[in-house]
Chain A
Amino acid sequence: MESATLLTESPELEKVEAIIEKHHYEESALIGILQDVQKEFNYLPGTALKHIARQLAIPLNRVYNVATFYRAFTLKPRGKYTISVCLGTACHVRGGKKVVEELERRLGIKAPDTTDDRKFTLQAVNCLGACALGPVMVINGEYHSKVSPKMVEKILKSL
């Protein structure tokens, strides 16, 4: 019981609590709660999942079930920069895969991993909806269009 009190008192959990409150403690808002928590922490911390389960009065496995089903969620901390390379069909036929491979080679990781220094997270995503500009790469919300393997080095250096 003591540890539970400690958990709720940490400033992180207060943020989680505020998010749950904003969604009126409704079970049907679980996805929205997880989205907001992930926005806050850049990933879904285990303690947050436990807190959500407790506050919504649902089993933890249901929270875990949702958190692992949807592609948008990650249980691992992300890097400072999240590099999302679009591999939608339009980007694929214009060579998006080569861009991912070049990034993997330069960063020394495989998508969807994070570099050891927590600077970069590389992920290949399905269609960012900017198909006319492919291959498209988004770094922390900023779009780079018509990316070629050669441009990768320059873009990484600019960060």
Chain B
Amino acid sequence: MKHLNDFNEFKQWQDGLIKSRDPNARTIVLCGGTGCKATGSKPVAEAIREQLNSYGLADEVALRITGCHGFCEKGPLMVVQPEGVLYTGVKPEDIPEIIKETVLNKKIIERLLYIDPVTNNKITYERDVPFYNKQARMIFGDNGRIDPVKIEDYISIGGYQALAKTLAENNPDAVISMIKKSGLRGRGGGGFPTGVKWESCRKAHGNIKYVICNADEGDPGAYANRSLLEGNPHSVLEGMIIGAFTVGANVGYIYIRDEYPLAVELFINAIRQAEQCGLVGRNILGSGFDFVMNINRGGGAFVCGESSALMASLEGKIGEPRAKYIHMVERGLYERPSCLNNVETWANVPLILNKGTDWFTKIGTGDVSQNPWGGSKGTKIFSLVGKVNNTGLVEVPMGMTLREIVFGIGGGIRGGKKFKAIQTGGPSGGCIPEKLLDLPVDYDRLTQAGSMMGSGGMIVVDENTCMVDIAAYFLNFLKEESCGKCVPCREGIGRMHEILANICEGYGKDGDIELLEELAETVRDSSLCQLGATSPNPVLTTLKYFRDEYEAHIKNQKCPAGVCKALIHYKIDAQSCKGCSACLKSCPSEAIAGEKKKPHVIDPEKCIRCGVCIDTCKFDSIRIIPGRYNAAQKLKITN
């Protein structure tokens, strides 16, 4: 790797790298993201190396291990280039056949192809898979084109060009005006216009300023930032260096979750490589601009996603937010002007500078030419998970409808079940019901529906998901994650959770719903930071759209979705039970009885509703019946 001293040297090196990149080279692209690693992509990579060596192909066929492709559900994923043949669920024992048939003879191996769950058709090429071809993968698409540990790969697809140009032109105000015009808004969920934030930070007084990247992706159910950091760390780093130069900062921090060890490792590697090339450090490309980059690992506190809490944590303190009447861009980290953006926001910066604002503003909703809050521009990466057929990371243009995302890209609901709701925005967001499926997804419309963009979690739930349980789940999460500094959040969330938990356990009573609503309003209006202020969203949206479920729990002592253990019981369907005794043997509480080859029965008094029998039964004979067992009789006794 060579040290680049000025803009021309960079340009020369980049031109060489672009030329050496042969689009028709035979390459096996293997996903090495966390999802595919979990499903076993590492032994697959070893098998490929071994086979390529034994065939003597190591020089002709390249193996590229990339970051996440997004379609984690079907991992390990492999794409054979240049044709773009997609193989899913690849195992080490498939490798000799893949090399022999597909790589050498260009033949397709049918059994490794992806099967569309909607049409049941086999699809050969990655570009034809509906999960991919309905997306707009501007940011995320590069993950499949580069090896994240090689800076050369990133530069060969145009990386660091925006930085070099910014430094050569030396006109920070022009950069700010471009970012402002592009209408880029904070991808962490707040949706604050990035250009406006940069401008304030540039104008703020002080010799020492900081740029910070928030990579503390705490929202349960969201992992887009992780995959971006693991798949294309240089794009985030480049965005940060451009931001630093623009606002006048010489020091940068990235705060990454400690639960993401691979992201930490790859980002450190990216910084080291950029330092060796002279893209981080002193006098970058001869411009006179210095930039140092630090990496901090988070301690696992959700509240540290809040900017002032994150900065406190960077200082080595506990992550308590402070009131923000003084903005962080004026007095943030160590009381100095600090410009904090999310991972995805930073990654958007080089893209906008390379492709221009006109290109960027064509994608998305609204009009941002006069007012940066006037619309939502560009794309957003969502983690589409839960009870949907195709789970994974999807990047879509702002304004795509929820229906298109869930049914077009996601392929609809698993197991032919009925869609119930989609939860967006993490614990601060809300549940959106079926009647709002045609809602175009952007910052303002999600907020109007009572939810929010958040950091991009989209959890699809079906008819077997209890909405009271979901609300209780989020409130429990928030109760544990509240830092405890202000009373409304610390006490209010706890009380709301107590009521919800009681309802789920069958102790709900008249007046609970009204009390929940009153508490929700108080917590929303009086909490110090956004964790508290948005915490009632899960309660308010489920109450707004699924009030009947709350009432069924309280008045009829029934969990209609069959989730809340106190309000359901199990029963064996005598018609379909073959009497195989598999459930009887697996039942941990010895609640199942019956003779071989005759229908078995469950004793509801002994049953702990653990679900092992449902897992075990091959004939799908165990039924979950909403309502307490013998509820009517019990009521009679107490009366």
* Chain A residues packing against B (C-beta within 8 Å): 26-32, 34-35, 65-66, 69-73, 87-90, 92-95, 98, 101-102, 105, 125-134, 136, 143-145, 148-150
Interface pair A132/B387, CB less than 8 Å apart? no
Docked complex Cα distance between A131 and B221 (Å): 6
Question: Can you list 25 A-B pairs, Cβ within 8 angstroms, ordered by A?
Answer: A31-B297, A31-B316, A66-B299, A69-B301, A88-B220, A89-B385, A89-B457, A89-B459, A90-B385, A90-B459, A93-B461, A95-B611, A126-B220, A126-B302, A126-B477, A129-B259, A130-B72, A131-B221, A132-B35, A133-B38, A133-B39, A143-B34, A148-B615, A149-B610, A150-B615
What residue in chain B is nearest A102 (Cβ atoms)? B610
List the A side residues contacting B72 at CB < 8 Å: 130, 132-133
List the B side residues contacting A98 at CB < 8 Å: 610-611
What residue in chain B is nearest A71 (Cβ atoms)? B300
Interface pair A150/B318, CB less than 8 Å apart? no
Give the residues from 269 to 301 in chain B that come closer than 8 angstroms, CB to CB, to chain A: 296-301
List the B side residues contacting A150 at CB < 8 Å: 586, 612, 615-616
Knowing A105-B588, A131-B221, say if A93 contacts B34 (CB, 8 Å): no
Query: Is the C-beta of B7 less than 8 angstroms from some C-beta in chain A?
Result: no
List the A side residues contacting B387 at CB < 8 Å: 93-94
Knowing A30-B316, A89-B221, say if A70 contacts B300 (CB, 8 Å): yes
Interface pair A105/B220, CB less than 8 Å apart? no
Interface pair B391/A132, CB less than 8 Å apart? yes
Interface pair A72/B258, CB less than 8 Å apart? yes
Q: Among A26, A31, A89, A92, which residue has its beta carbon within 8 angstroms of that of B313?
A: A31
Interface pair A92/B392, CB less than 8 Å apart? no
Docked complex Cα distance between A92 and B610 (Å): 15
Cross-chain pair count, CB within 8 angstroms: 147
Docked complex Cα distance between A94 and B301 (Å): 24
List the A side residues contacting B226 at CB < 8 Å: 129
Interface pair A127/B221, CB less than 8 Å apart? yes
Query: Is the C-beta of B599 less than 8 angstroms from some C-beta in chain A?
Result: no
Query: Is the C-beta of B219 less than 8 angstroms from some C-beta in chain A?
Result: yes
What residue in chain B is nearest A148 (Cβ atoms)? B615
| A139 → chain B closest CB, angstroms | 12
Query: Is the C-beta of B314 less than 8 angstroms from some C-beta in chain A?
Result: yes
What residue in chain B is nearest A144 (Cβ atoms)? B38
| B473 → chain A closest CB, angstroms | 5
Q: Which 4 A-B pairs have the closest CB atoms?
A: A70-B299, A88-B220, A143-B38, A89-B221
Count of residues in B whose CB is under 8 Å from the partner chain: 60
List the B side residues contacting A136 at CB < 8 Å: 38
Interface pair B610/A105, CB less than 8 Å apart? yes
Q: Scan B470-485; emit 1 where CB is below 8 A from any A CB, else 0.
A: 1001100100010100
Interface pair B392/A132, CB less than 8 Å apart? yes
Interface pair B221/A88, CB less than 8 Å apart? yes
Q: Among B39, B300, B477, B611, which residue has its beta carbon within 8 angstroms of that of A149?
A: B611
Docked complex Cα distance between A133 and B299 (Å): 24
Give the residues from 425 to 450 in chain B that come closer than 8 angstroms, CB to CB, to chain A: 426
Docked complex Cα distance between A89 and B465 (Å): 12
Docked complex Cα distance between A88 and B218 (Å): 10
Interface pair B300/A131, CB less than 8 Å apart? no
Interface pair A130/B610, CB less than 8 Å apart? no
List the B side residues contacting A66 at CB < 8 Å: 299, 316-318
List the B side residues contacting A90 at CB < 8 Å: 220-221, 383, 385-386, 391, 457, 459
Q: What 15 additional pairs, Cβ within 8 angstroms, besides A70-B301, A129-B257, A130-B223?
A: A28-B314, A29-B316, A30-B316, A31-B296, A31-B313, A35-B299, A72-B300, A89-B426, A89-B459, A93-B465, A94-B386, A102-B612, A127-B222, A133-B39, A145-B38
Q: Among A26, A71, A94, which residue has its beta carbon within 8 angstroms of that of B299?
A: A71
Docked complex Cα distance between A66 and B313 (Å): 9
Docked complex Cα distance between A101 and B588 (Å): 12
Query: Is the C-beta of B367 less than 8 angstroms from some C-beta in chain A?
Result: no
List the A side residues contacting B38 at CB < 8 Å: 130, 133, 136, 143-145
Knowing A69-B301, A149-B611, say if A131 contacts B391 (CB, 8 Å): yes
Interface pair B385/A27, CB less than 8 Å apart? no
Query: Is the C-beta of B114 less than 8 angstroms from some C-beta in chain A?
Result: no
Query: Is the C-beta of B214 less than 8 angstroms from some C-beta in chain A?
Result: no
| A148 → chain B closest CB, angstroms | 5
| B574 → chain A closest CB, angstroms | 23
What residue in chain A is nearest B261 (Cβ atoms)? A141
List the A side residues contacting B392 at CB < 8 Å: 132
List the A side residues contacting B35 at CB < 8 Å: 130, 132-133
Interface pair A69/B318, CB less than 8 Å apart? yes
Interface pair A129/B260, CB less than 8 Å apart? yes
| A100 → chain B closest CB, angstroms | 11
Interface pair B301/A71, CB less than 8 Å apart? yes
What residue in chain A is nearest B612 (Cβ atoms)? A149
What residue in chain B is nearest A69 (Cβ atoms)? B318
Docked complex Cα distance between A69 and B616 (Å): 41
Docked complex Cα distance between A101 and B610 (Å): 8
Q: Among A65, A71, A89, A148, which residue has its beta carbon within 8 angstroms of that of B220?
A: A89
What residue in chain B is nearest A23 (Cβ atoms)? B316
Docked complex Cα distance between A105 and B610 (Å): 10
What residue in chain B is nearest A70 (Cβ atoms)? B299
| B535 → chain A closest CB, angstroms | 15
List the A side residues contacting B465 at CB < 8 Å: 93
List the B side residues contacting A31 at CB < 8 Å: 296-297, 299, 313, 316
Docked complex Cα distance between A132 and B34 (Å): 11
Interface pair B218/A127, CB less than 8 Å apart? yes
Interface pair A32/B297, CB less than 8 Å apart? yes
What residue in chain A is nearest B483 (Cβ atoms)? A69
Interface pair B299/A131, CB less than 8 Å apart? no
List the A side residues contacting B302 at CB < 8 Å: 126
Query: Is the C-beta of B319 less than 8 angstroms from some C-beta in chain A?
Result: yes
